[in-house]
Structure 1
Amino acid sequence: MEEIKTSGPCLANIAVLGGGPMGIFLSTYLSPKTEDLYLWYDDRKRAEKIEKGRIASLLEDSITLPENVRVTSEFGFLKKGSWILIIAVPSRLMEGILEELIKVLDKDVPHFIFTFTKGILSVSTRRKTNCITYSEYIEKLSLASGFTSLEYTAVNGPNLLGELKREHHSFYCLASSGSKSIEIFESLFNGSKHHTKSYEDLNGLELFGAMKNPIAIACGIASGIPECGSNFEGELISLGYSEIVLLLETLEIPTRPVQEYGLADLISSCTSRYSRNKAYGHRFVRKLISGEDQPNLIERIELFFNPAEFIQKEVSQSESHVEGAFVLSSIIALAEEKKVEIPLYNTLFQILTRRVSPTELIRFVSKSTSDEVRHISKTATKRSGMGMTSGKKFQQALGKNVLRQVNGHPGMTDRVIKQSTLIVKSLKKRYEEAQESNDITDLLQIPKEIQLWKEVEKNFQEKGSKDLSRILDFYVSEIADDYKPFLRDTLIHLIAPTRFIFSGFKSGAGLPKIGGCIKEIKALASRYDILYTPTHRSHLDSVEVAFGLKWLGLPVPRYAADKKVMATPGLASILKSLGAYMVDRKRNRNILYLECLTQYSTMMLEAGIPTLVYPEGTRSRTGGIIPIKTGILSTSVEAYKHTGSEVIVVPIALSYENVPEDEEFCGSDKKPGFRDFFYKRTEVYMDLCEPIPVSKYIHEEDPTGSIGFEITQGWKKYRRILPNQLLARLLVESGTETPISFLELKAMIKEAVLTKKGNYLARDPDEILNKGTKVLKQRRMISVENGLVKVLDPNLIQYYANMCTDEIP
């Protein structure tokens, strides 16, 4: 076993947080400085094993821990006394550790924290606290908790672990929130080969320390590409340094000191054979070239849904803490928030998530050093390869995403658990209703759901457990589609001619009549992810859209189907195989269920699977456009943020001559049956509105609100005003109680077409009058006698009048 030489005076109460290679080295090196040194490790079983065996791994060697190093996974030892804490944990643990320290440390005595960990606060924490760095966060936490003295010091290099272990000369660049910390650090690291420099710019030193690591990974990737050598790596370092400086300048951090505390650290991390970040980049590209690193289906799913997490998981499988991979997505998110172009970081992210080849670095550097455009678009094209995959394949990833969202929002888990009693009460009432109506699906599913919620409540009360995994699995399984492309294509080809035959071979009976921005949408659909957002008038909407898109050769989306439509397990199975995922609108107050739905739609888009949502939320009972529920549109915004791939929102205006459910919406006790959906449906028009790129609105204060407004405008502009709708509108305006003559109606039609904007199906007054009268007479909404039109069903007339009464843009 290798022994590490140490020396120096003895200090009390020292703890090293982090059982990785750097933590092992620091605890061993510092053990002579105190009577008992605590080494904290986040893995309980690993900590117990090391404490018992006294053997730990340090890079390629195994070492024997000094007798006074006590290994633990608990924080209880910190409750008493003043502490010197050396932090060397992975950055993904840092926020939680800082929060835990504030809870356990004695706030009435001084504490000194020195951190070797480089990172940036997560997006959710930055938004919640308005902090960016760990030092800002711990200051905020300590002030809020009333600490009398807590000094925080960031430690940068060049001090590569491989050279520290070999007792080479190493350099420590320090920036601290207090003056005493520097003296303490110098007493801890007082050997002749340890050199210390101190600086005032704590935030700048922290950010630079985090941002230089991904550049080292890029250099490692370049070192594995045969045609790239030291010249190329030198250019990468230069480009990376300029992007770091640009972001620091935008954050109003002085950049002149960076040359002193940053350049040496950047150069050594990018060029040394001991650099863990560079070594990771080199291994990554060699595995790709050799074919060893081909992601399996589950890994491909993770890559699509959460590429940042995939990178972190991949890195976590090695013993080395490759901080550049962990911090990369946070750096990109911060730059996007500040509207700063950092194309090298974006290119590196694209490479690590397998979206582009490592040789993209060559293209990037070549362009960056020429007079061509010096940045790549952050708006990537669509990703392919998952479009035919069933939602069942995504269940595991969906569950992880939902738990991440729930756990990532402070207090959300508690709110979910707090709902359990009310949910159980509501479910019991719903079960009684299902018994009366003989709702087979609810009779089968509700008892299982009640039992699972009772388990959640019981586990929380008895054990304090907040485990939601079982109820989450239940919801995920219920929602997910089981798409079978062959079955859907076969049914579309069979049903369309069947509808045409049953209608008496009427034009437009088999398929909707299509118009709008067809060429433009076709061009965009081949390159970008698509979210279709139709108006919602009938249960037929999803069928009409599927038939129309298939006819056009556009990708047919997955779509939501109400649980009521999936009346039995057998029918639900068929609809799910056609690409439908189940939506239960009666759970509209269930926080966990709603999060599942949102994440499902988001993940479909992230995987490049075209998706359909109804922004109005439910079928319009009035016939007109109802206010959009912008929460539904958040899926497009979240998908764009997670992947960087453009999402094109395509509004679709569906215009029905006759809506099969119209009588139901107008108060009739009669519910539409199977025959109504075949025979009452006559002509349907499907118009593709102008496409809406999400990237255009992503930096606005309320992107979903802006996108929702554009969708509504598109609907109003492109929806067809059919003759029977316009005639109904004019009958309402003239008063439905009094008959009106054909001559008066014709004059009103002529004036309306001339003075009021609209996408009229016909503009000739005679054609509108004749066709509109015919349709309304067939449905017995009006009667015509002696040239006078009399309204027989005011409610239905009002319903169809509402289809063209909204203000037209």
Structure 2
Amino acid sequence: MKLGIVGAGSWATALAHILSKNFQSVILWARDKDVAENINQNHKNDKYLPDILLNSNISATIDLEEIFRQDIIIIAIPMQHIRETISNIKLKEEKMIISASKGIEIGSLKLPSDVIKESLDIPEENIFALSGPSFAKEVAKELPTALTLAGKDIQKAEKLQQLLNTKTFRIYISEDIKGVEIGGAVKNVIAIACGASDGLKLGNNARASLITRGLYEMTKFVPIFNANPQTIYGLSGLGDLVLTATGDLSRNRRFGLLIGEGYSVEEAIKKINQTIEGIETVKAIKQLSEKYNLELPISEMVYKVIYEKLNIKKAVDLLMNRELKKEFL
């Protein structure tokens, strides 16, 4: 079996490395010709995972169509670029496509699996989502990681489970693809809030409260996408939220930390210098909250701090002095 991966960032490269043991060959698609050449000539991706020597059966290309000639395809690029990247691809035979991207498309308010289905014009039974608590660097170093692979066709999911599982990369399966994708999207926004709280040195109590109330905000999306509430409390929901909100390898958390420490949004983005999914996802969450009249106070404050220049300390005051209410309402 041959694996093709759309993307050559840190997550795509880590997936290539860990899964190369299970596939005859793995090929990454890179936008940047220099990244592709670095992988092919030196078996390294110095731009995104400089400390990892890649296995010899991994290569890279700038030809996107070559990726879609492989047996199985993983899409691991920023959510907002999926549609423009793959919409011109014409599949000549049935393929199983796995989304490893996280977010909600601005404007359409669709999840990755919906965008992939529309862009490639393929049955939803052939689309899967891979998500959970997984820093790319730790995956590439073969530290223990557990994720959820979700898809409507559970028999196909079982086959993929066998193909993707390794000694250090444990795969669980689920039929709730929407629930898995909700967790992967919303957790990035809450992680920004947690990072900001820590940047302000508000303490462990504040961080724990933000994670818990952020998880509750995540549940608000379940009926909108007809997802299973139980999924939110699994690896792709609670698990990924805890990791991203507390782990310093998280770009979303680090962005929030910088904001809390007094950097401007523009300065923080420049210092991170990689895609920070929560910045874009919070736009889509704002649109969803207005469309469905959702009360999402943490996400709302993140939006206002990023896009309306609300002072971060004022945002904390607004959150703490909201109208008193029942915990679950």
What's the TM-score, normalizing by structure 1?
0.37
Query: Aligned partners of 1:234 and 1:149: how far apart in 2?
Result: 37
The residue that corresponds to 1:139 in the other structure is: 117
Cα deviation, 1:601-638, whole Å, max 9, x if unaligned, reads xxxxxxxxxxxxxxxxxxxxxxxxxxxxxxxxxxxxxx
Which residue of 287, 293, 303 corresponds with 1:339? 293
Cα deviation, 1:128-173, whole Å, max 9, x if unaligned, reads xxxx22223333455xx5x579611111212222432343321111
Share of identical aligned residues, percent? Answer: 23
Query: Aligned partners of 1:373 and 1:179: how far apart in 2?
Result: 39
Cα deviation, 1:380-419, whole Å, max 9, x if unaligned, reads xxxxxxxxxxxxxxxxxxxxxxxxxxxxxxxxxxxxxxxx
Query: Aligned partners of 2:177 and 2:94: how far apart in 1?
Result: 20
The residue that corresponds to 2:146 in the other structure is: 171
Query: Aligned partners of 1:95 and 1:148: how far apart in 2?
Result: 16
CA pair 153-194 structure 1, distance change in 2 beyond 3 A: same
Q: Is the 8 A contact 2:6 2:29 kept in 1?
A: yes
Query: Aligned partners of 1:70 and 1:225: how far apart in 2?
Result: 43
One-letter identity of the residue aligned with 1:356: L
Q: Is the 8 A contact 2:199 2:260 kept in 1?
A: yes
The residue that corresponds to 1:329 in the other structure is: 283
CA pair 229-317 structure 1, distance change in 2 beyond 3 A: closer
Q: Secondary structure of the equivalent of 1:355? A: coil
The residue that corresponds to 1:63 in the other structure is: 52
Residue segments in structure 1 that go unaligned for 5+ positions in a row: 1-11, 127-131, 300-313, 375-809
Q: Secondary structure of the equivalent of 1:172? A: strand
**Higher RCO (CA-CA < 8 Å; seq separation 6+):** 2
Which residue of 82, 104, 110 corresponds with 1:120? 104
The residue that corresponds to 2:313 in the other structure is: 359
Which residue of 253, 278, 282 corresponds with 1:278? 253
CA pair 256-38 structure 1, distance change in 2 beyond 3 A: closer
After superposition, where does 1:140-539 map in structure 2 within 5 Å? 140-142=118-120, 145=121, 147=122, 151-226=126-201, 228-261=202-235, 262-288=237-263, 293=264, 315=269, 318-353=272-307, 355-368=309-322, 371=324
Query: Aligned partners of 1:91 and 1:251: how far apart in 2?
Result: 17
Query: Aligned partners of 2:17 and 2:229: how far apart in 1?
Result: 36
One-letter identity of the residue aligned with 1:133: L
- Alpha-carbon shift at residue 347 of structure 1 (Å): 0.8
The residue that corresponds to 1:105 in the other structure is: 91
One-letter identity of the residue aligned with 2:213: L
Query: Aligned partners of 1:154 and 1:184: how far apart in 2?
Result: 14
After superposition, where does 1:698-709 map in structure 2 within 5 Å? none
CA pair 348-258 structure 1, distance change in 2 beyond 3 A: same
- Alpha-carbon shift at residue 85 of structure 1 (Å): 1.0
CA pair 23-172 structure 1, distance change in 2 beyond 3 A: same
Q: Is the 8 A contact 2:27 2:67 kept in 1?
A: no
Q: Is the 8 A contact 1:13 1:84 kept in 2?
A: yes
Q: Secondary structure of the equivalent of 1:331? A: helix
CA pair 371-267 structure 1, distance change in 2 beyond 3 A: same
Query: Aligned partners of 1:83 and 1:326: how far apart in 2?
Result: 32
Q: Secondary structure of the equivalent of 1:239? A: helix
Q: Is the 8 A contact 1:158 1:171 kept in 2?
A: yes
One-letter identity of the residue aligned with 1:203: K
Q: Secondary structure of the equivalent of 2:153? A: coil
One-letter identity of the residue aligned with 1:120: I
- Alpha-carbon shift at residue 199 of structure 1 (Å): 1.8
CA pair 321-195 structure 1, distance change in 2 beyond 3 A: same
Cα deviation, 1:536-564, whole Å, max 9, x if unaligned, reads xxxxxxxxxxxxxxxxxxxxxxxxxxxxx
Q: Is the 8 A contact 2:77 2:101 kept in 1?
A: yes
2:9 is equivalent to residue 25 of structure 1: no
Query: Aligned partners of 2:123 and 2:203: how far apart in 1?
Result: 53
Query: Aligned partners of 1:203 and 1:323: how far apart in 2?
Result: 18
- Alpha-carbon shift at residue 346 of structure 1 (Å): 1.6
- Alpha-carbon shift at residue 49 of structure 1 (Å): 4.9
Q: How many residues align?
A: 326
Cα deviation, 1:660-691, whole Å, max 9, x if unaligned, reads xxxxxxxxxxxxxxxxxxxxxxxxxxxxxxxx
- Alpha-carbon shift at residue 119 of structure 1 (Å): 1.3
Query: Aligned partners of 2:139 and 2:169: how far apart in 1?
Result: 9
- Alpha-carbon shift at residue 252 of structure 1 (Å): 4.3
2:78 is equivalent to residue 90 of structure 1: yes
What's the TM-score, normalizing by structure 2?
0.86
One-letter identity of the residue aligned with 2:232: V
Cα deviation, 1:497-522, whole Å, max 9, x if unaligned, reads xxxxxxxxxxxxxxxxxxxxxxxxxx
One-letter identity of the residue aligned with 2:324: D
CA pair 93-250 structure 1, distance change in 2 beyond 3 A: closer
CA pair 212-153 structure 1, distance change in 2 beyond 3 A: same
- Alpha-carbon shift at residue 187 of structure 1 (Å): 3.0
One-letter identity of the residue aligned with 1:18: G
Q: Is the 8 A contact 1:38 1:71 kept in 2?
A: yes
- Alpha-carbon shift at residue 287 of structure 1 (Å): 4.8
Q: Is the 8 A contact 1:20 1:319 kept in 2?
A: no
Q: Secondary structure of the equivalent of 1:256? A: helix
- Alpha-carbon shift at residue 71 of structure 1 (Å): 1.3
Q: Secondary structure of the equivalent of 1:77? A: helix
Cα deviation, 1:310-335, whole Å, max 9, x if unaligned, reads xxxx7487454322122111111122
Q: Secondary structure of the equivalent of 1:198? A: strand
Which has the higher Rg, Structure 1 or Structure 2?
1
Cα deviation, 1:77-117, whole Å, max 9, x if unaligned, reads 2464x5211221111211223423xx3321xx331112221
One-letter identity of the residue aligned with 2:221: L
CA pair 372-26 structure 1, distance change in 2 beyond 3 A: closer
Q: CA RMSD in A?
A: 3.0
Q: Is the 8 A contact 2:127 2:151 kept in 1?
A: yes
CA pair 62-83 structure 1, distance change in 2 beyond 3 A: same
Query: Aligned partners of 2:291 and 2:265: how far apart in 1?
Result: 33
- Alpha-carbon shift at residue 235 of structure 1 (Å): 1.0
Residue segments in structure 2 that go unaligned for 5+ positions in a row: none
Cα deviation, 1:357-390, whole Å, max 9, x if unaligned, reads 221342133124x62899xxxxxxxxxxxxxxxx
CA pair 50-79 structure 1, distance change in 2 beyond 3 A: closer
CA pair 316-210 structure 1, distance change in 2 beyond 3 A: farther
Query: Aligned partners of 2:16 and 2:297: how far apart in 1?
Result: 39
Q: Is the 8 A contact 1:113 1:150 kept in 2?
A: no
Q: Is the 8 A contact 1:236 1:365 kept in 2?
A: no
Query: Aligned partners of 1:360 and 1:222: how far apart in 2?
Result: 12
Q: Is the 8 A contact 2:146 2:171 kept in 1?
A: yes
- Alpha-carbon shift at residue 232 of structure 1 (Å): 0.2
- Alpha-carbon shift at residue 219 of structure 1 (Å): 0.3
Q: Is the 8 A contact 2:196 2:259 kept in 1?
A: yes
Q: Is the 8 A contact 1:347 1:360 kept in 2?
A: no
